[in-house]
Amino acid sequence: MALAKLEQLSKSVVQGPSLATGAVPTKDWMETPAIFKEGNFAYPAKKEKVEYLNSQAGLEFPNARIWSPDEDDWKLPENWQEIILNGLKERLGKFRSLKIFMDCCVRCGACADKCHFFLGTGDPKNMPVLRAELLRSIYRNDFTLAGKLFGKMAGAREMTVGVLKEWFMYSYQCTECRRCSVFCPYGIDTAEVTMMLRELLHLVGVGINWILEPASNSNRTGNHMGLQPHTFKDNVDFLAEDLETLTGVKINHSFNRKGAEVLFITPSADVFAEPGLYTAMGYLALFEQIGLDYTWSTYASEGGNFGLFTSNELMKKLNAKMYAEAKRLGVKYIIGGECGHMWRVIHQYMDTMNGPADFLEVPKSPLTGTVFNNAASTKMVHISEFTADLIRHGKIKLDPSRNSHVLPTYHDSCNPARAMGLMDEPRYILDHVVPKWVEMPENTIREQTFCCGSGTGLNTDEIMELRMRAGLPRANAVKHVIDKHDVNMLSCVCAIDRATLTSLMNYWNPGCGVCGLSELVGNALVMDNEKRAMGYDAEGNETELPEGFRTMV
Amino acid sequence: MKYTFSFLAVIALVLIAWLGSQIPGMQYLFGVAIPYLAIMIFLGGFVYRVVQWAKSPVPFSIPTTCGQGASLDFIKQDKLDCPTKTSEVVARMFLEIVTFRSLFRNTKSELHEGPKITYESSKWLWLFALIFHYSFLVVVIRHMRLFLNPVPAWLEFLDFLDAGAALQVGAPLLYATDLALVLGVVLLFGRRLVNRQVRYISLANDYFPLFLIFGIATTGILMRYFLRTNIDIISIKELLVGLVTFSPVFAAKIGSIFYIHLFLVSTLLIYFPFSKLMHLGGVFMSPTRNMANNSRAKRHINPWNDPTIKPHSYAGYEDEFREFMVDAGIPVEKELPPQKDE
């Protein structure tokens, strides 16, 4: 489906039938079925990808088949209802969060207009409370006394194919960004609900390709992009060569090297496509300049983890490569690159799932001597923490004027902000690498930050209009600072953001670029023995790297 | 409409108690048996629900961080919104439970032509919730005087403050919280009707407790200020003290309005453990709020963590790609065999 023109969509989000702007549906939500048509659903997972995952030890991905959400028959297993209800029962026993979140909601509506999907689509079922009610109504019906006694009057309903379809639609119109949970008086986190819905759907073979294909790639080749070891190496080598051309500094990097002090892991998208490539060049330049004894790994060549968007088992299996590789190579600790959901997994799940990493040491910066006690157990440090510490101790020389071609604002990625508390390290770095940067309005940053609209594996092109709608709150806040301060760059610390915000800016705010923070660090970094290439700036004057690492030479 | 059903249900409860309590002999049912049953169900049900929650583990450390976390020494941690120590978690929980801090954050967003989205602070829900919950709490505490003999001094003092706050003289003294409770219920109900999003999501079981509590408050007020015939506070107290000392007595005839009030309270107690009112217990146990954000510094244990889930092994990976790796100069564990792979 072709993406609507900007003018059309701009009108539609305000004037279209939207509960966010005042149109209250006449029909009760339980009477409103989910209707699938081209453009409003992500394509289902390919049969062979599901089969591959199902063949892997520790994983269960049954019912591989060819199917499509817009067909009536989803080819579910005969006892699908029993599978779902048993699956729900099992999860209620495994996750206290699920039980509490099913029982405690009072439908106060504080979350209703906090969701970017609701603001962009106006669909009532995109209010976090109603998204959770989709599951809660089933929970009431089969697991509570009130639901059994009073049925629909108590908000209960029977599990039907229609409900299952609704689950599929709305658990994939949630990016698990946790913004609603900030505002909920009981901290009810829709991410927890959506994760459960997605796990339940996988039990009957309902999943999307944009998640399961990268996940199976990651399992087999080590990264989402499916880059085999030699290709992964080629890509990084290519970036290193480019960097040498730009800076005149020879880059020394290595792969799968035993005995290195540090293992570096970043999302593979950083070595695969613009603008992430420039972020990766930033890492290479920084590590070269400080002489860090580090290695890349082709086996653990993915920071991201689409298992987080699938099931806790898959998340654990994919994540386990990080420690396994750190152990095999005998490194002391791990540094992780810029990525949002990757850091949710590392910060909140990794040690629990795959620890204890007692074969590693508490991370200690070889240059500043700083011991990262906040990572004492996982032994994994965020690149922004590592870089901020270098800057604080004056261990790198930075010339912010080298970034004078940009006037950035900063986008807090959902997971670092709301599932980690990484907010001021990137800001501290920004303060030191650019001449000037500005904040977006306070209700759209830090813990109230808005998602790019395409997280949790929803960055697929067939749902572009949905993505542009869901990204509207973020784009709109960027537009505010573009209009007010002439901002021309949206910086972030997330690989999915670098890809998705680029589409979002191209659509809503053409002319505004997107970059990783480490790209700005690399641009500003004064390197030993550098001989920077010349290029032409906007006025046509010949100067050194007028556009930083993006300069065409 | 959903609220009609809830409204009629409460009316029916009132009628049952009104008519029922006038049948000779039924006073025992409404004055003793049902209250006892209600208390038992409330306590038992509440404990049961909390135990049920506690039985499910918290497999992962999932606090929602709403501020800067503890990291480098020159980065200031937001100890309240991103706690790492137990004391900080307790402070976060205390303010959440006592001041409804998350609701204080509430914003209202609006879409305008452009499009342009605006956000403004919206503290109505926070205010209404505070009025409702605190007046209800004080009313409940004040009722303790009916069960305690002698009435403790602090309770007398609370009574004095509550009546004094209403700034009036004469008997019976009007309590500020009586008015506030009714006001709170009316405001919360009004919000459910006026706010289009909340109206759309509201269920019959969202309206029912509001009507029920409205009924409890108004029957209480009627009894205290208006329908005072046959409301002999001495015999009511005798009955209630008798209830808590497990020796119920009926000294004199008590007016129906008392039985209606008591029956509605009993209904609320019975309804409580099976409903969303359990948020009273749940708010203490929500993992996104009551956990410390220290999962990288201290390992959180998942009791059902499955040790058999292993990564796709490095050996398997190298076996598949060894040739390419050797060609590309990437170190390998096992060199290529002279002729062909095993």
Question: Quick check: is A2 in a domain?
Answer: no
The nearest alpha carbon in chain B to A389 belongs to B72
Structure tokens at B151: 């009435």
B chain contacts of residue A230, beta-carbon cutoff 8 Å: 321, 324-325, 327-328, 330
* Single residue among A337, A359, A392 that ends a domain in this structure: A392
Tens digits of residue pLDDT in A335-351: 999 999 999 999 999 99
CB B233 within 8 A of CB B255: no
Task: Identify the three-state secondary structure at position B101.
Answer: helix
Model pLDDT, residue A300: 98
Whether residues A177 and A263 fall in one domain: no
Residues contacting B273, CB < 8 A, separation 6+: B41, B42, B44, B45, B46, B48, B49
Ordered structural domains, chain B, with CATH: 2-285 (1.20.950.20), 310-342 (no CATH)
Whether residues A292 and A404 fall in one domain: no
Tens digits of residue pLDDT in B286-317: 999 999 999 999 999 999 999 999 999 999 99
Q: How confident is the model at residue B224 (pLDDT cuts 50, 70, 90)?
A: confident
Beta-carbon separation of A419 and B62 below 8 A: yes
B100 — alpha (psi -120 to 50), left (phi > 0) or beta?
Answer: left
Residue with tokens 């929602």: B64
ipTM score of the complex? 0.95
Whether residues A131 and A240 fall in one domain: no
Tens digits of residue pLDDT in B2-25: 889 999 999 999 999 999 988 888
A chain contacts of residue B330, beta-carbon cutoff 8 Å: 229-230, 233, 255-256, 298
B 17-46 residues with CB < 8 A to A: none
The nearest alpha carbon in chain B to A390 belongs to B72
Instruction: Please give the Cα distance from B26 to B20 (Å, whole number).
Output: 6
Question: Quick check: is A365 in a domain?
Answer: yes
> Which of A447, A474, A483 is most worth mutating to test chain B (most B CB atoms within 10 A of its CB)?
A447
In this complex, the residue of A18, A95, A447 whose CB is nearest that of residue B56 is A95
Whether residues A464 and A501 fall in one domain: yes
Question: Quick check: is A13 in a domain?
Answer: no
A chain contacts of residue B62, beta-carbon cutoff 8 Å: 97, 189, 192, 348, 419
* Single residue among A144, A176, A207 that ends a domain in this structure: A207
Whether residues A122 and A235 fall in one domain: no
Question: Quick check: is A83 in a domain?
Answer: yes
Using CA atoms, how far residue A423 sits from A106, A283, A378, A391, A494, in Å, is 31, 20, 20, 16, 13
Question: Quick check: is A71 in a domain?
Answer: yes
Hey, is the C-beta of A248 within 8 angstroms of any chain B C-beta?
Answer: no
Apex CA A534: angle with CA A533 and CA A535, to 5°?
125
CB A208 within 8 A of CB A463: no
B chain contacts of residue A98, beta-carbon cutoff 8 Å: 56
Percent share of chain B, pLDDT over 70: 96
Structure tokens at A530: 């550098």
CB A522 within 8 A of CB A278: yes
Whether residues A484 and A385 fall in one domain: no
Beta-carbon separation of A100 and B275 below 8 A: no
Whether residues A117 and A242 fall in one domain: no
Whether residues A469 and A522 fall in one domain: yes
Model pLDDT, residue B338: 80
Beta-carbon separation of B295 and A347 below 8 A: yes
Count up the domains in chain A and report the number: 3
DSSP for residue B30:
I
Instruction: Give the torsion through C-alpha atoms of B101, B102, B105, B109, to 10 deg.
Output: -150
Task: Identify the three-state secondary structure at position B42.
Answer: helix
Query: Domain of A419: which CATH number?
Result: 3.40.50
Task: Identify the three-state secondary structure at position B219.
Answer: helix
Question: Quick check: is A82 in a domain?
Answer: yes
> Which of B66, B81, B278 is most worth mutating to test chain A (most A CB atoms within 10 A of its CB)?
B66
Structure tokens at A122: 């106006």
Model pLDDT, residue A313: 98
Radius of gyration of chain A (CA): 24
Q: Which domain holds residue A51?
A: 25-207
Whether residues A84 and A135 fall in one domain: yes
Chain mean position to CA A189 = 17
Beta-carbon separation of B299 and A377 below 8 A: yes
A chain contacts of residue B100, beta-carbon cutoff 8 Å: 185
Q: How confident is the model at residue B239 (pLDDT cuts 50, 70, 90)?
A: confident
Model pLDDT, residue A126: 97
In this complex, the residue of A112, A351, A423 whose CB is nearest that of residue B299 is A351
Question: Quick check: is A5 in a domain?
Answer: no
Report the DSSP beta bridge partners of residue A77.
none
Residue B170 has pLDDT above 80, yes or no: no
In this complex, the residue of B117, B200, B286 whose CB is nearest that of residue A186 is B286
* Single residue among A178, A207, A236 that ends a domain in this structure: A207
Hey, is the C-beta of A22 within 8 angstroms of any chain B C-beta?
Answer: yes
Model pLDDT, residue B252: 66
A chain contacts of residue B53, beta-carbon cutoff 8 Å: 96, 99-100, 103
Residue B341 has pLDDT above 60, yes or no: no
- DSSP secondary structure, B260-317, as one string: HHHHHHHHHHHHGGGSGGGHHHHHHH-TTTSS-S-TTTSPPP-TT--TT--PSPHHHH
DSSP for residue A413:
P
Whether residues A375 and A498 fall in one domain: no
Whether residues A35 and A150 fall in one domain: yes
Tens digits of residue pLDDT in B65-77: 999 999 999 999 9
Instruction: Please give the Cα distance from B280 to B266 (Å, whole number).
Output: 18
Instruction: Please give the Cα distance from A143 to A137 (Å, whole number).
Output: 10
For chains A and B, CB pairs below 8 A equal: 338
Hey, is the C-beta of B86 within 8 angstroms of any chain A C-beta?
Answer: no
pLDDT tens sequence for chain A (553 residues) = 578 889 999 999 998 888 888 888 989 999 999 999 999 999 999 999 999 999 999 999 999 999 999 999 999 999 999 999 999 999 999 999 999 999 999 999 999 999 999 999 999 999 999 999 999 999 999 999 999 998 988 899 999 999 999 999 999 999 999 999 999 999 999 999 999 999 999 999 999 999 999 999 999 999 999 999 999 999 999 999 999 999 999 999 999 999 999 999 999 999 999 999 999 999 999 999 999 999 999 999 999 999 999 999 999 999 999 999 999 999 999 999 999 999 999 999 999 999 999 999 999 999 999 999 999 999 999 999 999 999 999 999 999 999 999 999 999 999 999 999 999 999 999 999 999 999 999 999 999 999 999 999 999 999 999 999 999 999 999 999 999 999 999 999 999 999 999 999 999 999 999 999 999 999 999 999 999 999 988 888 899 999 999 998 7
How many alpha carbons fall within 13 Å on the CB side of residue A171? 27
Beta-carbon separation of A476 and B59 below 8 A: no
Question: Quick check: is A7 in a domain?
Answer: no
* Residue that wins the pLDDT comparison between A551 and B253: A551
Whether residues A376 and A440 fall in one domain: no
